[in-house]
Structure 1
Amino acid sequence: MKKSTFLLPIVVVAIAALLSSVFIVDEREKALVLQFGRVVDVKEDPGLAFKIPLIQEVVRYDDRIQSRDVDPLEVTPLDDRRLVVDAFARYRIADVERFRQAVGVGGLATAESRLDSILRAETREILGSVSSNDILSSDRAALMLRIRNNAIAEARGLGLEIIDVRLKRTDLPEENLDATFERMRAEREREATDERARGNEAAQRVRAQADRTVVELVSDANRQSEIIRGEADAERNNIFASAFSRDPEFFEFYRSMTAYQRSLQGGNSTLVLSPDSDFFNYLKSDELTPQ
């Protein structure tokens, strides 16, 4: 009984020691075995691994690709047109032992802070060597590749592998946006004014041409009507002359009847004539021959 009581704690301690010496390395991570803060083993393959209990400890790091957004920074291209650039990078821990030596217990937070400094410095250097038009054009892809390639060597000292660097946004600083918008608005208003002026000028030309055409058409129509009226009057006069030459007495009678019709109409008009006036010759006689 006393012997079993003495062995039980030993067995429990042995089992606990065995369990604490075994750890599992996930396929999405890498692990370092540290002994008094010094790296004694690197575990990169997934599966079971062992360490010395109490003396050694395990530190795990994510082996997946990470994304890091760089805070917006202001750059000055060759043409002195300041721009605010917003970038991000994709990276992974390539050398976990060097990573531990470079950042110590600071871990990923310290590494990302130093990575930000590297990316900001390279972004300023590369974008400061070209014009703003190159940054805003399709050549920006080549500039991002240059930033990535220059940052790879420095990031390697941190045990990091930079996979890609991208510029998300490239804008003017806030203090320059209002001035730029006002300049663009003034330019558009000037163009609109020019277009309206050209439109009014074209409209005036069209109206003047239309007025001229109207005057020409009316003048030609009046001329044609006068010609037709003159020809009709001439033909009428010819008819009257021919009729008069055939029977002058009837023609005189017809003219008198026409004069009676035009002068003796209803209304307030009053004619004061002598009864023996020649005007009433055909009214005083039953014959056509005037007396």
Structure 2
Amino acid sequence: MGSKSLFSLILAGIVVLVASKSVYIVKETERAVKLQFGEIVEPDVKPGLSFKIPFVNTVRIFDGRILTLDTRPQSYLTIEKKRLIVDSFLKWKINSVETYYTATSGDEFRAADLLSARVENELRNQFGARTLNEVVSGERDEVMAEVIRRLNEVASKELGISIIDVRVKRVELPPEVSSSVYQRMRTEREREARELRSRGFELAEGIRADADRQKTVLVAEAYRESEEQRGTGDALAASIYAKAYNQDAEFYSFTRSLKAYKEAFSGNGDIMLLKPDSEFFKYLSNPMGTAK
């Protein structure tokens, strides 16, 4: 290979290298700035194919999507001086590439540290102005809305970042406080259980007493009705006996004597001491019942 051909090959390689260094692509999900010897000359490069001067211009590309920052759990004091452990996260994205690059040098970890410090400061201010009940349940949405609004004002101006959302994942009491709180809650629940149990016993005694009263009334009424029925039956039986006796007194006396004989002589080993001419044996000695 001659020197001319070698020179042409080297020149072609240099041209290809320069051309490759002169072209860059920014995706739709990315944001970029163009620098010239470290100074920003194009603060917001549009997505697509662009050109730069090799070894003079530098392009810094950043993620333009919504990013999540999971902050470390921090300790905050409420207005009642009660300490809480708060775990939170936020959603953010770049809205001004020039400001973002100037404030963080394009370092996402540096941006995360700056955001974390500002989030912690805003949460501390909001929690410090509210009671425990308000930050846990009563006004949590209002707290988050205020934190987002104030963070947006600071982050957009100082960092070129837009805060999309801030959320608290959990709020916990410190370990040294949790045990006493749980014990107090347990004591309170046990007291409520005792009150409910006492009310239940009281109601049960009332129901039992009412049931006993109703039982006594029902038994008494049943006994009264049964005695009335028995009295009516006895009266009716006496009336029937009286009518039968009036129709044939001798026959009635005879049947009654037979019934008495049957009952008297049905037992084994019974002894009766009676005179043979007793009135009791008149039908045995004389079937006609007349005295001898």
For residues 210 and 285 of structure 2, the distance between their equivalents in structure 1, rounded to whole angstroms, comes to 64
Which residue identity does 1:215 align to in structure 2?
Answer: T
Aligned to 2:21: 20
Q: Is the 8 A contact 1:29 1:44 kept in 2?
A: no
Question: Which residues in structure 2 correspond to 1:48-87 (within 5 Å)?
Answer: 48-87=49-88
Which residue identity does 1:93 align to in structure 2?
Answer: I
For residues 123 and 29 of structure 2, the distance between their equivalents in structure 1, rounded to whole angstroms, comes to 31
Question: Which residues in structure 2 correspond to 1:63-142 (within 5 Å)?
Answer: 63-104=64-105, 107-137=107-137, 139-142=139-142
For residues 276 and 259 of structure 1, the distance between their equivalents in structure 2, rounded to whole angstroms, comes to 17
Which residue identity does 2:257 align to in structure 1?
Answer: S
For residues 183 and 163 of structure 1, the distance between their equivalents in structure 2, rounded to whole angstroms, comes to 40
Question: Which residues in structure 2 correspond to 1:111-260 (within 5 Å)?
Answer: 111-137=111-137, 139-155=139-155, 156-238=157-239, 240=241, 252-260=253-261
Aligned to 2:30: 29
Secondary structure in 1 matching 2:71: strand
For residues 196 and 234 of structure 2, the distance between their equivalents in structure 1, rounded to whole angstroms, comes to 56
Gaps of 5+ in 1: none
Which residue identity does 2:146 align to in structure 1?
Answer: R
Shift of 1:35: 4.1
For residues 168 and 190 of structure 1, the distance between their equivalents in structure 2, rounded to whole angstroms, comes to 32
Shift of 1:96: 2.1
For residues 167 and 25 of structure 1, the distance between their equivalents in structure 2, rounded to whole angstroms, comes to 35
Q: Is the 8 A contact 1:91 1:160 kept in 2?
A: yes
Gaps of 5+ in 2: none
Which residue identity does 1:72 align to in structure 2?
Answer: P
Secondary structure in 2 matching 1:200: helix
Distance verdict in 2 for CA 1:141–1:213, change over 3 Å: closer
Range that drifts further, 163-172 or 125-134: 163-172
Aligned to 1:275: 276
Distance verdict in 2 for CA 1:290–1:251, change over 3 Å: farther
Q: Is the 8 A contact 1:102 1:157 kept in 2?
A: yes
Secondary structure in 2 matching 1:45: coil
Distance verdict in 2 for CA 1:256–1:18, change over 3 Å: closer
Shift of 1:44: 1.6
For residues 250 and 144 of structure 1, the distance between their equivalents in structure 2, rounded to whole angstroms, comes to 112
Range that drifts further, 45-54 or 111-120: 45-54
Distance verdict in 2 for CA 1:120–1:242, change over 3 Å: same
Question: What is the aligned length?
Answer: 290
For residues 48 and 286 of structure 2, the distance between their equivalents in structure 1, rounded to whole angstroms, comes to 151
* TM-score for the superposition, normalised by structure 2: 0.82
User: What root-mean-square deviation, in Å, do the aligned CA atoms of Structure 1 and Structure 2 show?
Assistant: 3.0
Runs of 4+ in 1 over 6 A off after TM superposition: none
For residues 264 and 56 of structure 2, the distance between their equivalents in structure 1, rounded to whole angstroms, comes to 146
* TM-score for the superposition, normalised by structure 1: 0.82
Distance verdict in 2 for CA 1:217–1:5, change over 3 Å: closer
Q: Is the 8 A contact 1:282 1:290 kept in 2?
A: no
For residues 180 and 189 of structure 1, the distance between their equivalents in structure 2, rounded to whole angstroms, comes to 14
Secondary structure in 1 matching 2:221: helix
Which residue identity does 1:192 align to in structure 2?
Answer: A
For residues 219 and 167 of structure 1, the distance between their equivalents in structure 2, rounded to whole angstroms, comes to 71
For residues 73 and 55 of structure 2, the distance between their equivalents in structure 1, rounded to whole angstroms, comes to 46
Identity %: 38
Shift of 1:146: 0.9
